[in-house]
């Protein structure tokens, strides 16, 4: 979604006086206070967590040049997440843009990734609603999600973009739809009347069907896919949307895109910074690379009668991807920069 916003901004790049390169702050690492190993990490549920336990404690540790840390020039990282009316964040990505090499990266994080945090439901998609409840509304939810993302990638992204499902549909409709390859006939019906019916092959999808394409997980009399396959569909749709947004015909649709962005997209990027990214995107082709955060699926026994499904981060494989793609530093991140659940 950061890419969407950047290209929308590109349509306004004529307003050159407002354009400003984003300023990145010094990032932090190892901000986590150690947990009490004797404590009961499953003492409460997400519905009634204790604020002092539900939120990660932060103790600043600065990447200092004196210790050999330096930022890559003109390299920006963005936390991108989408949420529905119930505040479920089933789409979580970290995007990076290297202006000099004109390379863009997306690292998708499985929603069931287990995080080293003291609450009953330790999945990363619980971070945003917990932060909203106990840490000051939307801004608190974003901060909480940033903290928990940092535990598995080693740094906090510079910026964030959060997108409501309604915005996603309207952006697709505003550009006139997108063309994607549907690997099989996606069919789903439930008792509440919700229905998915997308034939296999190359399809031109409107906003509603595009949302169905990226949300599809369980089929009715059809194929069921994994969360990793669903993340690949999300990445495929973003690439298709990039193509549409960079098309000359999209210029005529800029007013509707701006209205959608204003009504349904939240970000800590300023207008000038958005215009900067938009300007970069209209200067020439940008190569997009997409990856999934590596995990191992497992069931964890949390009581005599209850188990919970988690995706357990695979540190070495994750660090290799991170250091080759979204790492904003000139030196590699290591295990010392991570705090992973076991």
Sequence ranges of the domains in the chain:
2-174+258-337
pLDDT for 287: 87
Against a cut of 0.85, is the pTM above it?
Answer: no
Angle among Cα 330, 331, 333 to the nearest 5 degrees reads 125
* Model pLDDT for residues 40-99, shown as the tens digit of each residue: 333 334 444 444 444 554 444 556 666 778 889 999 999 999 887 667 788 899 999 999
Residue 275 near residue 218, CB atoms below 8 Å: no
pLDDT for 219: 64
Q: Which residues of the chain have pLDDT under 70?
A: 1-18, 25-66, 85-86, 193, 219-222, 248-255, 282, 284, 342
Separation of alpha carbons 207 and 177, rounded Å = 7
* Cβ count near 339 (within 10 Å): 21
At residue 26, φ and ψ (nearest 5 deg) are -65, 130
For the domain made up of 2-174+258-337, the CATH class stated in words is alpha beta
Q: Which residues pair with 95 in a beta bridge?
A: 78, 106
């Amino acid at each position: 979604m950061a890419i969407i916003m950047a290209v929308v901004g590109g349509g306004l790049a004529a307003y050159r006086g407002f354009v400003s390169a984003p300023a990145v702050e010094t990032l932090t690492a190892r901000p986590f206070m150690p947990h009490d190993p004797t404590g009961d990490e499953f003492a409460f549920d997400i519905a009634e967590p204790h604020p002092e336990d539900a939120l990660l404690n932060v103790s600043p540790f600065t990447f200092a040049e004196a210790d050999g840390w330096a930022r890559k020039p003109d390299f920006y990282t963005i936390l991108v997440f989408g949420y529905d009316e119930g505040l479920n964040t089933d789409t979580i990505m970290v995007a990076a843009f290297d202006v000099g090499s004109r390379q863009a990266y997306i690292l998708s994080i499985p929603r069931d990734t287990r995080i080293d945090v003291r609450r009953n439901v330790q999945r990363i998609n619980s971070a945003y609603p917990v932060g909203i409840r106990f840490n000051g509304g939307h801004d608190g939810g974003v901060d909480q999600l940033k903290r928990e993302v940092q535990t598995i990638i080693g740094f906090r992204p510079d910026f964030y973009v959060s997108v409501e499902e309604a915005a996603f549909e309207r952006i697709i409709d505003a550009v006139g739809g997108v063309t994607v390859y549907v690997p099989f006939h996606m069919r789903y019906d439930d008792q509440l009347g919700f229905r998915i019916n997308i034939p296999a092959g190359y399809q031109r999808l409107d906003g509603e069907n595009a949302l169905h394409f990226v949300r599809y997980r369980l089929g009715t009399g059809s194929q069921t896919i994994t969360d990793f396959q669903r993340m690949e569909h999300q990445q495929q749709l973003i690439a298709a949307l990039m193509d549409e947004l960079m098309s000359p015909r999209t210029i005529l649709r800029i007013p509707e895109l701006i209205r959608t962005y204003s009504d349904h997209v939240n970000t800590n990027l300023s207008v000038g910074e958005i215009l900067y990214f938009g300007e970069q995107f209209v200067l020439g082709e940008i190569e997009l690379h997409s990856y999934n955060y590596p995990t191992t699926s497992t069931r964890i026994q949390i009581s005599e009668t209850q188990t919970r499904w988690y995706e357990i981060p695979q540190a070495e494989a994750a660090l290799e991807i991170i250091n080759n793609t979204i790492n904003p530093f000139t030196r590699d991140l290591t295990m010392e920069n991570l705090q992973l659940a076991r």
